[in-house]
Amino acid sequence: MDDTHTFVYRSSVHPASSGKDQNLRAEHFESKEDSPEVVKVSNDDPSRIPVIDPSEIVGRTYLTAPTEDGSRDRAKIVKAIVEYENDLAIHPERIRYLVRVKDKESLLAYDEIMDAIAAQIDDEDVVWKFKRISGHQGPLKPGDKNYKGSSYNVQIKWESREISWEPLNILAADDPVTCAQYALENGLLDLPGWVRFCRLARRTKKLLREVKQAKLRSFNLAPKYKYGYEVPRNYQHALELDKANGNHKWKEATELEMAMMRQYEVFSSLGYKARIPNGYIKIRLRLIYNVKHDGRHRARLVAGGHLTPVPLTSVYSGVVSLCSIRIVTFLAELNSMEVWATDIGSAYLEAKTAEKIVIEAGPEFGELEGHLLKFECALYGLRTSGQRWHERFADCLRQMKFEASKADPDIWMC
């Protein structure tokens, strides 16, 4: 529509006097003056296309609305309950999903879930298990309404933005350092239930050091959410998430990345459990997982280049300046020339590496698991990969009769 800049499909429009879904706000059904306006549509296809395929929502998570005491929980979409299968494309709002929050389950519509996910997309990131203790209740007795097996409850503000009340005894067993820090800041060390943290809290330097260690440990084990999906920490975690979600999305993303490694012949095998050759360094690899805005699952194999010695020579890889791009664009417009842009997929893998590095293949390598593999290509994460790719790209441009500009060596002219 012109005023809202949105599309209204023909399948959603019906007369105001219709018996089905009657418009009760319309006063005069027979009046020509009140007849609905002609609506523009994007194409001749009357079907309503949802933003995300309804079948792709299962496995996602989102935060529920705050309760009266400020608590927030993370809900997980367990499975879809589809009604009116033949009209699925036209009426995606008729799909209901089984959503689980802790031990409770409920049915929600497609639109409700999408609104909840969209509202939280910009705030999702890797987080610690919890951010801080924001309050406490107590002392409590077994007969009290909020009693959970401890004389005190503490309000936990999680980094995933959930807020919940937990028994002090449970948190104290898991992270006594954070409890001691909270008791010290709020003057609770002399009260029953908190006195246990007195000795730890008074050792200031050790307390601060252990607080940092506790945060680092929580960071390494914390769940990461993106676009409603939990992102794996490693390959084993990816398989566990696939099993919990009832699909193979993370496994397929990993297999796609490993197929790319084989296609580019990134590694060559030195044999099963082979010895490390003289002059070579053994490092580790890591699979980095990610979720795209449209729900696609991606995996990227990255080398632990930080485990290799710092090169004695420069490994600088130049990047064209913004000013140079503006000048090139201006000259193209001035001379009525077309400006093209392109992206080179898996660019670094096009270049060979001179670093003497090996790795032991993990389970993600399939039949090569346990083999000692030597690097042949400039994999992401290696110290010299950027420079190797820059050299490879420059060689290709020279073969095409291009020459680097003297003003900016990353501007090439023919």
**Is 251 part of a structural domain of the chain?**
yes
pLDDT surpassing 50 at residue 201? yes
Domain of residue 68, CATH code: 2.30.30
**Is 159 part of a structural domain of the chain?**
yes
Contact 162, 62 (CB under 8 A): no
Model confidence at 268, pLDDT cuts 50, 70, 90, reads very high
| Domain span including residue 59 | 54-123
Amino acid letter, 148: K
Helix axes 176-185, 204-221, angle to 10 degrees: 130
Do residue 199 and residue 305 come from a single domain?
A: no
Contact 226, 220 (CB under 8 A): no
**Is 67 part of a structural domain of the chain?**
yes
Which of 193, 221, 249 terminates a domain? The answer is 221
Given this model, what pLDDT does residue 81 score? 73
Model confidence at 391, pLDDT cuts 50, 70, 90, reads very high
Considering its fold, how many domains does the chain have in total?
4
**Is 227 part of a structural domain of the chain?**
no
**Is 347 part of a structural domain of the chain?**
yes
Q: How many percent of the chain have pLDDT more than 90?
A: 30
Do residue 9 and residue 101 come from a single domain?
A: no
| Owner of token pair 């939280």 | 120
Average pLDDT over residues 195-214: 71
Amino acid letter, 109: A
Do residue 243 and residue 381 come from a single domain?
A: yes
Do residue 372 and residue 388 come from a single domain?
A: yes
Model confidence at 341, pLDDT cuts 50, 70, 90, reads confident
Do residue 260 and residue 175 come from a single domain?
A: no
pLDDT surpassing 80 at residue 118? no
Question: Of the ranges 103-107, 311-315, 368-372, which one carries the lowest mean pLDDT score?
Answer: 103-107
pLDDT surpassing 90 at residue 398? yes
Do residue 276 and residue 195 come from a single domain?
A: no
pLDDT surpassing 60 at residue 280? yes
Largest CA distance in the chain: 92
Do residue 153 and residue 245 come from a single domain?
A: no
Q: What is the pLDDT of residues 39-84, one digit of tens each?
A: 444 444 433 334 556 666 777 777 777 777 666 777 888 777 765 4
Do residue 289 and residue 209 come from a single domain?
A: no
Do residue 65 and residue 184 come from a single domain?
A: no
Given this model, what pLDDT does residue 363 score? 92
Do residue 41 and residue 59 come from a single domain?
A: no
Do residue 293 and residue 391 come from a single domain?
A: yes
Q: How many whole angstroms separate alpha carbon 343 and alpha carbon 299?
A: 19
| Owner of token pair 């979720």 | 291
**Is 94 part of a structural domain of the chain?**
yes
Which of 221, 249, 273 terminates a domain? The answer is 221
Given this model, what pLDDT does residue 171 score? 80
Do residue 100 and residue 172 come from a single domain?
A: no
Q: Positive or negative, the Cα torsion across 393, 397, 398, 403? A: negative
Q: What is the pLDDT of residues 124-175, one digit of tens each?
A: 444 445 667 888 888 888 888 888 888 888 888 776 566 778 888 878 877 7
pLDDT surpassing 60 at residue 90? no
**Is 226 part of a structural domain of the chain?**
no
Model confidence at 108, pLDDT cuts 50, 70, 90, reads confident
Q: What is the pLDDT of residues 216-248, one digit of tens each?
A: 666 566 677 887 788 898 999 999 999 888 889
Q: Which two tokens stand for residue 64?
A: 């529920």
